[in-house]
Amino acid sequence: MMQIQIFHIPLDDTHVLEECNKFLRSHKIISVREEHCEATGSWHILIRYVGSMDVSSQKDKPKVDYKEILAPDAFVRFARLREVRNELAKEHSVPGYVIFTNEEVAQMAGCQELTLQELKAIKGIGEKRLATYGEAFMKKLLALKDA
């Protein structure tokens, strides 16, 4: 679920700036918007993020090489599905993992015929993401097949 954090940073307050930087390093950031307020001489920073994450555990988590674990034809579908996901993510100005994670895309790649029902059955894809991105994702996928 997307959340919002706002920081008001006076130019001479390094403590708040350090707090903001610490927050940025410890969360999955979707977007950052900053504005300078000349009247107060401070910066206003709006951060959109998805939950919190333990950065240390992410560093220890091994990277998955999907080329090794997927069958060759499934890996081709996986690469194509990631392209569609990344294109959709650009349009929505969000990171790709907000649309679908690589793990979810790998599950999609295992489906011979991908439908909205199949998307709904994939672990981790809830009603909200399906409603927000599912139809647009499927349209892009169909357009890619037709090309």
Instruction: Count the Cβ atoms, other than its own, within 10 Å of residue 137.
Output: 23
Q: What pLDDT was estimated at residue 79?
A: 93
Q: How far is CA 145 from the centre of its chain?
A: 24
Instruction: Tell me the angle at which helices 72-92 and 135-146 cross, rounded to the nearest 10 degrees.
Output: 120
Percent of the chain that is helix, strand, coil (3-state, to 5): 55, 20, 25
- Residue 33 and residue 7 in contact, taking contact as beta carbons nearer than 8 Å: no
The pair of three-digit structure tokens given for residue 75, joined into one six-digit string: 């890996």
Q: What pLDDT was estimated at residue 26?
A: 81
Residue 2 has pLDDT above 80, yes or no: no
**Dihedral sign for Cα atoms in the order 112, 86, 133, 25:** positive
Work out the pLDDT band at 146, boundaries 50, 70, 90. low
Q: For residue 47, what is the enclosing H or E element? A: strand 42-52
The pTM of this model reads: 0.58
Instruction: Name the β-bridge partners of 36.
Output: 43
Q: What are phi and psi of 47, to 5 degrees?
A: -120, 125
pLDDT digits over 16-72, tens only?
Answer: 888 888 888 888 888 899 999 888 888 899 999 886 444 444 555 678 888 889 989
pLDDT digits over 89-144, tens only?
Answer: 999 888 899 999 999 999 999 887 888 888 888 988 989 989 999 898 888 888 77
